[in-house]
Amino acid sequence: MKSFLKKIIPAQFLQSYHKFLAWTGAVWYGYPARDLIVIGVTGTVGKTTTGYYIAKILERAGFKVGLTSTSLFKIGEKEWLNSSKQTMLGRFQLQKYLRKMVRQNCQYAIIETSSEGIIQHRARYIDYDVAVFTNLSPEHIEAHGSYENYRRAKGELFASLAKSTPKQANNQNRKRPVQKTAVVNLDDKEARYFLSFPVDEKITFALKESDLEGIIKPTARGSNIRKTAGEISFQVDLPSQSGEVKLRTDAEFNVVNALAAIASAFSQGIKLPVAIAAL
């Protein structure tokens, strides 16, 4: 039915319809994202795990966290499976969940943010503070028509940071401005593009040597990956901090997801030992 409607309804009308729904949902629930520090995680793969790792680190640091992802939802201590497996909730539902997070006194909201959700304006009227880029490959371009459109859709999340409502966060009973931050995988060929958007702070992470290192050094460097039965360990180097991370998994690709989460947590002032303990 949806595909049939897309064929007969002008694209311009559909865009206006999506924008109107997004605005209506935000107004109905009172723009809840303005009362949260919102972290959006985007990329072709790794979004779900990265978002979950970020949530665990923030919780270990003492924050109350909300999360929406392909696999599960989380509001504070309560977690439940996402039975629909829809990466990004519809506009009203997403605003509703954000309002629930505010009511439960969450300080952070982590939103797995898909490119399709972005072009359907599901992220519209959500004031993001941190955008995390995991990677990009031409695997999900059907809804976009081309790789360039796919990349541009992901980029809209980063572009939105400059327009996002300024916020204040409590830090030991003191108010501090929330920095609009891009967290970018330097190992990905599209790193330069995602670093091109105007933000307050740019945080990067890498496992390999990058041709961008003459311009920008990785904030979080992963190295010395070792696998044993049921566990992967690796070295992490941050400014003035180093340590060994141990993941209870056999999947080596989770190393870069963990590194992305550590870099994201670092952007929020969380020390490496806290991140290591959480993972």
Query: In CATH, what number is assigned to the domain containing residue 145?
Result: 3.40.1190.10
| Strand, helix or coil for residue 183 | strand
16 part of a folded domain: no
Within 8 A by CB and 6+ apart from 28, the residues are 92, 95
Domain assignment of residue 234, yes or no: yes
Of residues 259, 211, 215, the one with CA closest to residue 237: 259
Domain limits for position 39: 30-278
Share of the chain above pLDDT 90, in %: 76
What's the pLDDT band for 1 if we cut at 50, 70, 90?
Answer: very low
Q: Does residue 154 fall inside a structural domain?
A: yes
- Whether 228 is in a domain gets the answer yes
Q: Does some domain include residue 7?
A: no
CA distances (Å), 196 to each of 55, 108, 123, 182, in order? 27, 25, 20, 10
Cα–Cα distances (Å) from 86 to 72, 82, 152, 194, 214, in that order, read 10, 7, 21, 25, 40
Q: How many domains does the chain have?
A: 1
The pLDDT tens digits of the residues spanning 118-165 come to 999 999 999 999 999 999 998 777 778 899 999 999 999 999 999 999
Q: What is the pLDDT of residues 82-128, one digit of tens each?
A: 988 888 888 789 999 999 999 999 999 999 999 999 999 999 999 99
Could you read off the pLDDT of 39-89 as tens digits, one per residue?
A: 999 999 999 999 999 999 999 999 999 999 999 999 999 999 998 888 888
Establish if 23 belongs to a structural domain: no
13: in domain = no
